[in-house]
Amino acid sequence: MEKNKSLLILASYYFSFTIPQYVPGLYIVFDRISIQLLFISVLNLIVFLSIIKNLEFQDFFKKIKYKIHLASYFLVILFSAISLFIADNLVEGTIVLTKFISFFIAFFLILYVVFKSEINFIKYFIYFFIIAIILEVFLINYLAFDSVITDGNLLKRSNVFRGLTGNINISSFSVAIKIPVIIYLIYKLKNNLKLLLLLSILCFAILSILILSSRAAIITVNLVLIISLIYFSLKEKKKSIYKSVLIIITVLISTFFYNLINEKNTYNLIEDRFSTITKPYEDNSVSERLGYYKIAIEDIKNSPLLGVGIGNWKIKSIIRSNDFLVGYRVPYYVHNDFLEVSAESGIFSGLSYLFFLIFPIIVLLIRLINKSNNNLSFIPFICLAVFIFDSTFNFPMNRLITMMNLFFILTLFYVIEKNKTYKSEKYF
pLDDT tens by residue, 218-251? 999 999 999 999 988 887 777 778 899 999 999 9
Last residue of a domain, one of 275, 294, 321: 275
Q: Tell me, yes or no, whether 125 and 266 share the same domain.
A: yes
Q: Read off the pTM.
A: 0.89
Q: Which of 144, 170, 171 is nearest to 155 (CA)?
A: 144
In terms of residues, how long is the chain?
428
48 pLDDT exceeds 80? yes
Q: Give the C-alpha separation, 20 to 111, whole Å.
A: 25
Q: Tell me, yes or no, whether 396 and 284 share the same domain.
A: yes
Q: Tell me, yes or no, whether 379 and 400 share the same domain.
A: yes
Q: Tell me, yes or no, whether 125 and 107 share the same domain.
A: no
Do 340 and 333 contact (CB within 8 A), yes or no? yes
Please count the other Cβ atoms lying within 10 Å of the Cβ belonging to residue 95. Answer: 14
Q: Is 163 left (phi over 0), alpha (psi -120 to 50) or beta?
A: left
Q: Tell me, yes or no, whether 271 and 283 share the same domain.
A: no
Last residue of a domain, one of 247, 275, 303: 275
Q: Tell me, yes or no, whether 178 and 302 share the same domain.
A: no
Average confidence (pLDDT) over 250-271: 72
At 203 the pLDDT is: 95
Q: Tell me, yes or no, whether 99 and 155 share the same domain.
A: no
pLDDT class of 94 with cuts at 50, 70, 90: very high
Q: Give the C-alpha separation, 209 to 193, whole Å.
A: 25
pLDDT class of 31 with cuts at 50, 70, 90: low
At 281 the pLDDT is: 46
Q: Tell me, yes or no, whether 127 and 261 share the same domain.
A: yes
113 pLDDT exceeds 80? yes
At 27 the pLDDT is: 47
Q: Tell me, yes or no, whether 299 and 408 share the same domain.
A: yes
Q: Tell me, yes or no, whether 388 and 426 share the same domain.
A: yes
**Number of structural domains the chain divides into:** 2
Last residue of a domain, one of 242, 275, 308: 275
154 pLDDT exceeds 70? no
**DSSP-assigned letters across all residues of 187-221:** HH---HHHHHHHHHHHHHHHHHHHHHT-HHHHHHH
Do 374 and 423 contact (CB within 8 A), yes or no? yes
270 pLDDT exceeds 70? no
Supply angle C-alpha 208, 173, 263, rounded to 5: 25
Q: Tell me, yes or no, whether 71 and 167 share the same domain.
A: no
Q: Tell me, yes or no, whether 84 and 100 share the same domain.
A: yes
Show the domain range for 349. Answer: 1-119+279-428
267 pLDDT exceeds 50? no
